């Protein structure tokens, strides 16, 4: 009989302790989750912007090299006219 009371009190104690703790953890997660999503979205956006900027820099560098190569070719063509 004593075991039944002990099991009953353990079950009631677990419920009385588990429900408030579960409620508290749920509330904390409920408030924390949107902020985690927001921070992750901001980080992904920053990474995308960095990649786009790197691609633009690479494209501009390639264009600059083409401009200088064209300039050098023109100078070489003018050398043959000067002589």
pLDDT > 60? residue 83: no
Taking only the tens place, the pLDDT of each residue in 59-82 is 888 776 677 777 888 888 887 665
pLDDT on residue 81: 63
DSSP secondary structure letters along 1-44: -HHHHHHHHHHHHHHHHHHHHHHHHHHHHHHHHHHHHHHHHHHH
Distance CA 25, CA 19 (A): 10
pLDDT on residue 60: 82
76's tokens: 């070489």
Taking only the tens place, the pLDDT of each residue in 31-53 is 999 999 999 999 999 999 999 99
**Which pLDDT band, with edges at 50, 70 and 90, does 15 fall under?**
very high
Distance CA 47, CA 60 (A): 20
């Amino acid at each position: 009989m004593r075991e039944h009371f002990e099991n009953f009190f353990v079950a009631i104690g677990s419920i009385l302790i588990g429900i408030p703790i579960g409620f508290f953890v749920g509330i904390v997660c409920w408030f924390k989750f949107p902020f985690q999503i927001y921070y992750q979205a901001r980080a992904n956006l920053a990474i995308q912007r960095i990649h786009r900027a790197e691609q633009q820099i690479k494209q501009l560098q390639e264009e600059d090299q083409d401009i200088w190569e064209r300039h050098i070719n023109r100078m070489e063509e003018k050398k043959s006219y000067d002589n």
